[in-house]
Structure formats: C-alpha cells, structure tokens
Structure 1
Amino acid sequence: MSKDAKTDKSFPEKFKRWFRLERGNIPGNREIRLTEELRAELGSESPTSTRMKAIKELNELLASRKLEENGIEKLWLLVQDLLSLTSPAEHRHATLQMLTTLTAAHAHDRLGAMRHVFYNYIAENYQHEEIRPMFDFFREVVSDGKQLEYIEELAGPFLLEWLPFVLASPQTADALNLLVNLVKFNAAYLDETVVTGYVKQVVLQLLQAHNEAEALLCLRVLDAVLAYSYLPSPALPTFITALTRAVNVPQLTQETWKIMRNLLGTHLGNSGLYVLCRLIQSNGDPHMVRGAIFFLTSALWGNNKVSSLNYKPAAVLPTLQQAGKNGHVLVVYEVALSIQKLVSKLSLELHLSSWDLLLDTLANLFEHHVSLEEGLEKQSILNVLKDIMDVIEQLIELQQFGGSYDKFFSLVDKYAHLRPETSVLRLLDHQAQAMDPLHPHWLAKLGTLLNQYYCHDPRPAVRTKALAILSDVYNNNRYLYGTDMVRNVVTIQMEGIEKERNVGVRTAAVNLLVHIAVTQRSSVVPDILSLLEKIIIAPYNNTKENDQVLRESEAADVIAAVAGLIRIFKKKLWELPSIHAIQAYKILILCMEHHYRKQAIMDGVVKGQMQIFEMIFEMRANSKCQLGFLSTPTRSNGEGEDSFSSMLPQYTPYVLVNDKHSQRFSSADEQGEDDPEQRLNDSNTVIASETANEDSDLTSKDSTIVVSGSVINVQG
C-alpha cells in the first residue's frame, strides 16, 4: 500500500520539480537558465539537503541540455564550497558528477577559461579524493584528451604524475584511451621527458596486463606515440623491450610486429636494430631474446621485410651465432626458423664467411636439440633443422652452395643418425674423396668411416655403401697399400661378419672379401679365408633344433661364399704360396661335412653343394700328378691382364696329387679286395702342396708336403 502511494506521488513531485526548473525559461529554448529561485536553492544559504536535491535535478537536465551563457561560471561559484574536503564524501561525489555532466555538455564551445579553473581544482585535490569521480571529471575537462585549451603546458606533466595511480585502479582502460587521444591530438604540447614517462608507464602496464583487451590498449598507446609523436631516444630500449616480450603472445603478435615494423622504418631503424642485437646478446629472458630474434630476422629477410634497412645477413649472423648458444627451447626454435627463412630466400647472397657462421650456428642448434628431452618441442625443432639441411643439400646438387663442403658434411657426419639415407649416402660419397694416400691419416679415416657407417649404422643401404667405398679404395690402392688396408682396416671391421642380420649386407661383405682374397698374395689371405669360413659355418653353428629351415634367399651369403672360395681355389692353384689354395679347398670340404651332418638346415639350399660337386668333378691330374681342371681358369676384371690367362698351363706346377694312393688302390684291385669304406679311408689324403721357391724341383718326391683332407661319402 505504501509502495503504491510513493508511486502515485512520484509523478506530481517530478512535475513540480520540472516546473520549478523551467520557470523563467523561454518556451522552446534548449538552454537552462539559472533563475533566482534556482540560484537560491543552489547557494550556500540553502540547507544542504535542498542544495543536493537541486544538484541531482540539474544533473538530469544537463545530460541533454546546456546552461545559458556564462552559466558555468555562475554555477561553479554556487557549488564550489560543496567540494571542500570538509564536506561529506557523498556530497562531493554528487557535485563532481554534476560538474562532470556539465563539462561533457560544454567542453567544445563554452568551457573556455573554466577549463583552467577545473584543472586547478583537480590538481590540488586529486590525491585526497577517490580516483573514479575525480578522473571522470578530468577526462571531461580535457575532452578525453582531445582539447587542452588554456592548460596545454600543464595537462601532460600532471597526467604523468597521476598515471601510476590511475593505471593501478579500475580506470585503467579509460586512462589508456585518454593517453591515445592525448598523443594523437596534442603531441606538440608533450615534452620529451613526458613522452618518455608515458612509454615507461605503459610498458609496465603492458607487462602486467590482466587480459588481451588491456594489452591491446597498451599497444595502441605505443603505436600512437610512434605515429603522432616523437619517440625520444632514451625511451627506445624500453619501447623495444616491451614489444619483444609482447610478441610472444599469439593474440598480440600481428599488432606488435606492425608497430615494430613502423619503428624500424623510421629514422630510428638503425638504432632499433642495434637495440635488438644487444637484447639478443644479453642472453637474458628467453621470451625477450626470442622476440628480438623474430623482429631482427623478419625485418631483414622476412616475408614483409623493412625495405629501408639495407643490411646484408652477414651483419647480424654473428649475433645469431651467439643466440644459438642459448639452450632454451624457445630461443633454439626461433633461431632455427630464422636460419630456415634465410637459406630458403637469400642463399645466393651468402658468401663463405656467412656460411661458416651459419653452419656454426646450426652445429649449436643440433647440439641443443640432442640434449632436449623427448617431446613435441624437440620434434618441432628437428623438423626445422632437417628442412635447413635438405635445402643446403639441394644447393650442393645445383652447385649453388657457397660454403665449405667439408664443414657441412662434418655436421652431417656428426648427426648422421638424424639424417635420411640419401643424405648419409651423399656424405659417404664426399668422404670417399679423401680416402687416398695423398691425405694424412687416410687409413685411420677409412677405419673410422667403416666403424661408424658399417659396424654401427642400422640402415642396410648405408652399410652397403660403406662396403662399396672400401672396395673402391682398395681397388685404387691395392698394389701399394693392399696389405696394410687388409691388416689395419678390413680384418678389424669385418670381425663378426657372420653375426650380421641383414643378408644383403652379408652378401656384399662376402663379395668384397672374395675379391680381396683373389687379388692378394700376402700373408693376409688366410685371415680373409677365415672370415669366409665363419660365414659358411654360421648357419650350422647358430641354428637351434626348432629354427626354421633356411631358404635360398636367406642363405645368399653362404652361396656367394662357396662360389667365392671355388674361385679362390682355382685362382690360387697357379700362385704361390699354394697353402692359400689348400685352405680354400679345406673350407669347401668342411662345408660339405657340416651339410651332411645337419642336412635339414640347408636342405632347401642346393646351389652351394652343387657348385662344390661340379668343382670336384672338374678336377684332373696329369701323368706328373699335377692338379688341374678341364678348362683353364680365366682372370676376372681387376685381377690382371686378360692376355696372361691364355698363357697359363692346364695343370698347376705348385700342387701335386699324392700318387701313393693310386698305387695302393691298384694293388688292392689285383688282390681282389673290394671294400669301398676302406678305399675311402685310404684316400683321406689326396692333395700335396709344393711351397718351394722358384729353384726347387717341383717333381722331387722329397719336396712334397702331405696335407690331411676330408672324405666325401657319396652314396649311389
């Protein structure tokens, strides 16, 4: 009931107030006249409640209408006593609200000298009053920073003094918008010290911004300072440092880069680059260093580079090299991206010294990458580094790489496990060029190459390539250094070849060993034959009862070893020392013995056994008991001149068949004995070796050495 009564009274009361205020005003006039009655209500003689009621009523009217001419001065004289610190805060705030509304309505035309009066009041009392009402009043006094008439020299320094307190209050957004307009419309009245102070305060606020909108407002202030004012040199480091930190925020990156690009395009561009380089070299906050690297490289060789900066990459590559020593993941990633853009766009402008710096930086990045923990960041960095290396390799193929080949390939060599097969194969081709006696320590380097890429690299193609390089180096130097290569490199690196899991690599190694054994006559041949023996016997020694029977494709190395030993045997029959031929023959017979003892293992592989049988069936002896074959062995390419093969006799003078066994067999036949097992046992020794020198009588019975062989029991 009481509520309805208040509602009923509200309209008459409002009407009376309106009538009292409008009384004396000309109908249709939009200006408010301060009548005698209104001045009496606002004056100090009236009770405080009456004055406050009149002020609130006037505040409502001022929102849409203006005071009469000189009304601002009259009204100020009537109410200024209410702004005294002795007045209650409620009265002061209500009066300030009315004055704020009044100023907003008259700021552009009738405020005049009263702007100075209002400013004086604010400057004298802002420290003793709440920030919100006082700052709202100040904003309207200066038209939100657009109008400084009568206070041009005062507003800037005063706001700088007040700014830290306002930015720490809920009025932060209003203060930043005020700064933007103040710089845009009144930059001519702002001294260097004032602008520097604004920049420092805004930078501090930017670094502790609570949300994206506040950070963007801070950037707008900095952009306005750069665009409409003169950025003082003392403020440049602070200005750039703030941008290098802000650019790390994804929502601010585009706006920040736009401001930095505008800065570097001005007369301060050279100084800006210097500041960026100093920030990078300071090795300080990783986010700051990363932002500085981004700005520096984007300005010089980015997609939207600053055309007024005429600097070559060589000018900043030492700085990037120093940044590459920073192990923080953000800095490593940013340096890698910068180098990626450089080699993709300006590779033809880089000279030898620049490439050296770039490769040194890459080496540091790879080192940091290896030390990082497994994760998305590590993989992202590796992807960028791989792309850089791929681009450089493309330049090498196109013969457009201006750096040191040795330095680049040493980097590939160090991190070969991170490179694809094609890259490592290209590396091996390059390293093969230094594998000759003209280079110091070439044998040691050859051993290192094989140890790394044959013994430890898991990729079959790489291991096979290493063997191919060894074969080429051997062929080129075997006449002078063949024995040293076999003794110091081949036998060491090939140890344990029978344990190799990849049959292709084993087969390639067997072919190389056979080639070396065929072309060598020194004391290293028995070592090579021992390696081949291990390969032939390995399936029988390492296979368990439940293992699957080998297929022919899985025993390609054994087949190649058998064929190679047959070739070695036929070749060494006509060479001294003949012990090499006899050792090869013994290995072949040993292979047959193992086959028939464990026939199931190699039951599906008949090619090797067939080759041994064919060799045995081709063997012949002449009347002098000299061993030979139906056809004279020919020399393969690389083993000697083909013209000499036709000069070889059909029977070798170095290996003899012991004729005592044939006489024993003839005597048994005459006595009618026909015991096959006894005959096989008696034929256990069938080959004699002649190791005498050239002056020895090859037919002398005293110079033959009987060597125990093995019997092959053939049923049928």
Structure 2
Amino acid sequence: MSSRDRDTKSLQDKLKVFFKKGATAPLPARNELLVSGELERELGPEAPLHRRLRALRDTAERVLLVRVQEGGVEKIWTCTRDLLDDSNTEARHSTLCLLRNIAEGQADHLQIMRTILFHYLRDTHPTHSPEDTQLRFKLLHTLTNTGKNINYGSWLPQIQAPPQLVEFLQLIINVVKFNATYLDEPVVHGIVESACHLCVYCADGNVVSSCLALLEAVVSYSLLPRAALGTFVAALCRTVNMEHYCQTSWKEMVEILREAGSSPAPAGAPSDEGDAGLVRGAVFYINMSLWGPRRVPTLQVSFLAVLPAFLKALEGQQPVVTYEVLVGVQSAVSRAPLELCEPAWDVLLRILRAALQQDKSYEPPNEMIHSKLHALITTIEQMADSGQS
C-alpha cells in the first residue's frame, strides 16, 4: 500500500470516528427546556412575585423556541396555576401569555394539557375578570388552532364583544367547518341566535359580514336547527335591505328556500307589520324566488298562499313595503298571468284597492308608488283587453 493510500484511509477513519461521536452525543441543553427544581422554585408560590414575573417572562420566550422536556408543561402549570386567580392583573396576564406561548410552541406535545387548559377556560369563563378577556380569547384561539380542533371538548364561550369580535367570529366559522360532527343542536342554535342578533343590531360592517359568513357555513353544513329558522329568516329579511349585504343574504335565503320545496312556511310574510325593513325584505324574497328573474324552480307555492300575505303586509301602511308589494304583484302579473285563478285575481284586486287608498293619502305624494301603481293598473287593463285576465 502506498503512502498516499495510507493517508487517505487514515483521513476516512478519522471522519468516521468524528461523525460517530457526533451521532451518539446527547443534544445540547439549549435544544430542550429542562424544568429543573430551580425553575420550579422561581415559578412557584414560594418565590416573591417580582421573581415569579421575571421567570414567567423568560420561560414564555423559551417555550416558543425550544421543546419543553416531557412532563415539563404539567410542572409549569402546577407552579403557576395560582397566579390565574391572583388579584394582581400583571400576574394574571403574564401567566396567560405564558400559557398561550406554550399552546403555540408546544402544540404537538401538549397531550393531556390541551384538555386541562381548555377546561380551565370553560370552568372560569362565567367569573373571569373583563380585563382578561382578550388574553383568554388569544389562548382559546391558539389552543383550538383557530377553531379547527375542538374534538376534545364541545364548549365555546358566547360570541364576544369588541375588540376581538371579528376574529372570534372567524374562529366560530372554523369550528363549524372543521368540527360539524361535534356540535350539538343547542350549541348551533345559540351560535345562530347570537349571529342573527349581531346582523340586525351591530353597526360594524365587518362584524355583519362575518356573521353572514358564519350563518352561511351553518347552512352549508346542514346544521341549521328548525327551531332557529324563524330567527335566521328574520335576520336575512333585514340585511337584504342593505346593498352591501344584499347578494350574500339572497344567496343564503335561496339555500333555505330550496330545502323548503313546496312548504308554504318560508313564503309567509312576517307577523311584525310595524317593522318595515323586516316586512319589505320578506316581500322581496317572495317576489324574487317565485316570479323574479332569479326564481327558485324547486319552490312550489300557489298564488293564494302568497297574495293574502301581501295584502296583510299593506296594513302597516309603510311606503317602502307598499312599493315592494307593487313590484311583486307586477312581476306576478307579467310573468305568470295565465296561472292566476279567479280567487287569486280577487285578492290581487283587493291589493290594488288598498294601494290606491294609500297612494291618495300621501302628502306630499309618493311619486315612486304612484308611478308603479298606475303602471300596474295599465298592465292589467292591457291584459283584460287581450283576454289574458
């Protein structure tokens, strides 16, 4: 063997020894957070508060970067649990920040601690300090992976107040999309009721849009409880009056009407005649779905099931409702004149008489209603002359 071959072999042997040592050597301590007795004492109740706070902040930074030793998260929880009930706001907030960082940095290794933290949020929700709401929500947001993972519990807090309302609604949307099988009907009913309330009474456009997206998810996954149908429909009847939400509201109502089929229930006008927006929206949906340019073919409802509701809607003497009723009647007469039986024509003429009386009572005159009314009368006269009525 030449000297060159011996040198090459010697170098290879040295490299093998070097990498063999590296492979069997333990990981450096900086790659794992060891919850030592000293750290437990710094975090635990025996240490002064200022030292505990310093230890909380230092640990919160590290748990995001390195893995905590097996069983270490449980030790941290045991040492710091008392601070969550402390009267000191900084102590509670520092602990919640640490827990949130643990939920984020140790997401794949939480195991039973995930359930423990979730149960803590659930059990203390009714009594927690309002100052803690935002940090508690952030912990829930991280713990559930933005709502995509709740298979270890079925509890969710009620829809929250600003400033995290939109973010919370997005979390609930993810809950519906990714955990539909875990949601009991009472839970879904509560979600729908809260979202509908916000649709009607919240002035924040982002919140209303998020609520409509949440309601759409509920409908898309066939989760809408029958008991919540009235609230759901009433909310959409109101939101459809606002241009920004009109298309979304119509899309969601179509899904409900398709499922309704021949049932007359969705076609009936709401009973609260004093709420002009509610009644106007109901009349709009009836007109569009039965006779309008976007009619729902699967919805089979007779004229005699609808026209009396239109007549009832006029009793509130709300101009916006009267105009929408006239638009609906115009559509019915123009698109399906041969389907109008004699009793239906009788109701239709009663609607015209009621609208004429209202038209005469307006001071100053309502030009939109006056023009629409006389255009409708002209259409009916032309139909009579041609033998279509």
Q: TM-score range by the shorter chain?
A: 0.7 to 0.9
Q: Is the 8 A contact 1:167 1:205 kept in 2?
A: no
Deviates more, 1:360-369 or 1:71-80: 71-80
Q: Is the 8 A contact 1:290 1:331 kept in 2?
A: yes
Aligned residue runs from structure 1 range 7-46, under 5 A: 26=28, 29=31, 32-34=33-35, 38-46=39-47
| CA apart distance, 1:28 | 8.6
**Paired residue for 2:359, among 354, 369, 372?**
369
Aligned twin of 1:507: none
Q: Secondary structure at the match of 1:170?
A: coil
**Paired residue for 1:355, among 313, 334, 345?**
345
Aligned residue runs from structure 1 range 493-512, under 5 A: none
Separation of aligned partners in 2, 1:124 and 1:359:
62
What is the CA deviation profile of residues 675-695 of structure 1, one whole-angstrom value per residue up to 9, with x for unaligned ones? xxxxxxxxxxxxxxxxxxxxx
Aligned twin of 2:371: 383
Q: Is the 8 A contact 1:264 1:270 kept in 2?
A: no
Separation of aligned partners in 2, 1:28 and 1:287:
64
**Paired residue for 2:230, among 217, 237, 243?**
237
Aligned residue runs from structure 1 range 135-534, under 5 A: 135-151=137-153, 154-155=154-155, 159=156, 162-163=157-158, 167-266=160-259, 268-269=260-261, 273-279=264-270, 281-374=271-364, 378-397=366-385, 399-402=386-389
Q: Is the 8 A contact 1:290 1:330 kept in 2?
A: yes
Aligned twin of 2:79: 78
Flag the 1:262–1:106 CA change in 2: closer, same or farther, 3 A.
farther
Flag the 1:42–1:334 CA change in 2: closer, same or farther, 3 A.
same
What percent identity do the matched residue pairs reach? Answer: 34
What is the CA deviation profile of residues 448-501 of structure 1, one whole-angstrom value per residue up to 9, with x for unaligned ones? xxxxxxxxxxxxxxxxxxxxxxxxxxxxxxxxxxxxxxxxxxxxxxxxxxxxxx
Q: Is the 8 A contact 1:97 1:133 kept in 2?
A: yes
Flag the 1:64–1:390 CA change in 2: closer, same or farther, 3 A.
farther
Equivalent AA in structure 2 for residue 277 of structure 1: G
Aligned twin of 1:643: none
Flag the 1:360–1:40 CA change in 2: closer, same or farther, 3 A.
same
Greater RCO structure (CA 8 Å; 6+ sep) = 2
Separation of aligned partners in 1, 2:163 and 2:45:
34
Equivalent AA in structure 2 for residue 74 of structure 1: K
Separation of aligned partners in 1, 2:262 and 2:80:
57
Equivalent AA in structure 2 for residue 131 of structure 1: T
| CA apart distance, 1:133 | 1.8
Aligned twin of 1:114: 113
Separation of aligned partners in 1, 2:89 and 2:261:
52
What is the CA deviation profile of residues 600-626 of structure 1, one whole-angstrom value per residue up to 9, with x for unaligned ones? xxxxxxxxxxxxxxxxxxxxxxxxxxx
| CA apart distance, 1:105 | 3.1
Q: Secondary structure at the match of 2:54?
A: helix
Separation of aligned partners in 2, 1:400 and 1:69:
87
Question: TM-score if structure 1 supplies the norm length?
Answer: 0.47
Separation of aligned partners in 1, 2:214 and 2:66:
33
Equivalent AA in structure 2 for residue 135 of structure 1: F
What is the CA deviation profile of residues 12-55 of structure 1, one whole-angstrom value per residue up to 9, with x for unaligned ones? xxxxxxxxxxxx962894x5444565445434444432332232
Equivalent AA in structure 1 for residue 148 of structure 2: K
Q: Is the 8 A contact 2:141 2:171 kept in 1?
A: yes
Separation of aligned partners in 2, 1:389 and 1:87:
74
| CA apart distance, 1:136 | 2.0
| CA apart distance, 1:371 | 0.9
Aligned residue runs from structure 1 range 87-98, under 5 A: 88-98=88-98
**Paired residue for 2:135, among 133, 146, 169?**
133
Q: Is the 8 A contact 1:183 1:229 kept in 2?
A: no
Q: Secondary structure at the match of 1:384?
A: helix
Separation of aligned partners in 2, 1:344 and 1:248:
24
| CA apart distance, 1:58 | 2.9
| CA apart distance, 1:360 | 2.0
Flag the 1:66–1:308 CA change in 2: closer, same or farther, 3 A.
farther
Separation of aligned partners in 1, 2:163 and 2:178:
25
Q: Is the 8 A contact 1:146 1:182 kept in 2?
A: yes
Equivalent AA in structure 2 for residue 316 of structure 1: V
Q: Secondary structure at the match of 2:316?
A: coil
Structure 1, unaligned runs of 5 or more: 1-23, 403-716
Q: Secondary structure at the match of 2:53?
A: helix
Q: Is the 8 A contact 2:269 2:313 kept in 1?
A: no
Separation of aligned partners in 2, 1:343 and 1:297:
11
| CA apart distance, 1:383 | 2.2
Q: Secondary structure at the match of 1:56?
A: helix
What is the CA deviation profile of residues 248-281 of structure 1, one whole-angstrom value per residue up to 9, with x for unaligned ones? 2222111111111111112x4555x4154151x5
Equivalent AA in structure 2 for residue 147 of structure 1: N
Pick the structure with greater CA Rg. Answer: 1
Question: TM-score if structure 2 supplies the norm length?
Answer: 0.83
Structure 1 or 2: larger helix share?
2
Flag the 1:106–1:264 CA change in 2: closer, same or farther, 3 A.
farther
Equivalent AA in structure 2 for residue 116 of structure 1: T
Q: Secondary structure at the match of 1:122?
A: helix
Q: Secondary structure at the match of 2:152?
A: coil
Equivalent AA in structure 2 for residue 91 of structure 1: A
Give aligned pairs, total: 361
| CA apart distance, 1:223 | 1.5
Separation of aligned partners in 2, 1:237 and 1:363:
31
Q: Secondary structure at the match of 1:390?
A: helix
| CA apart distance, 1:193 | 1.8
Q: Is the 8 A contact 2:261 2:300 kept in 1?
A: no
Separation of aligned partners in 2, 1:202 and 1:294:
22
Flag the 1:100–1:380 CA change in 2: closer, same or farther, 3 A.
same
